[in-house]
Amino acid sequence: MGFPRLQAREDVKGILDAFGSLASALLAGFVMLAFAVLSLFVTVFVVDAAASIAGLNPEDGFVVLGATVLAGTAILAGGVGFATPENES
């Protein structure tokens, strides 16, 4: 014989925990996306400044392409460590 009221509270708690996990994952995704866009803007500025220091005047498309490649590889390199499982000792 279980207590139905106690069981209902545990079910509601489980549902709220699931929604909390979903909300935190969505929030983390939005924050990571915002940081990725911000890093792209900064990298565009750096690539443009480096080209002007070198005396080059590339088209805007090439500046954005170079910045995208640099920012994308930096984001991928930063996330590679999270893809490998930890060794249990």
Task: State residue 80's pLDDT score.
Answer: 72
Model confidence at 23, pLDDT cuts 50, 70, 90, reads confident
pLDDT digits over 34-69, tens only? 888 898 899 899 989 999 999 999 898 998 999 889
Which candidate, 75, 71, 21, 7, places its Cα nearest to that of 42?
71
The answer to whether 63 and 48 have CB atoms below 8 angstroms apart is yes
CB 41 within 8 A of CB 76: no
User: Is the pLDDT at 2 greater than 60, yes or no?
Assistant: no
Distance CA 68, CA 74 (A): 10
Distance CA 46, CA 55 (A): 14
Given this model, what pLDDT does residue 82 score? 65
This model's pTM is above 0.85: no
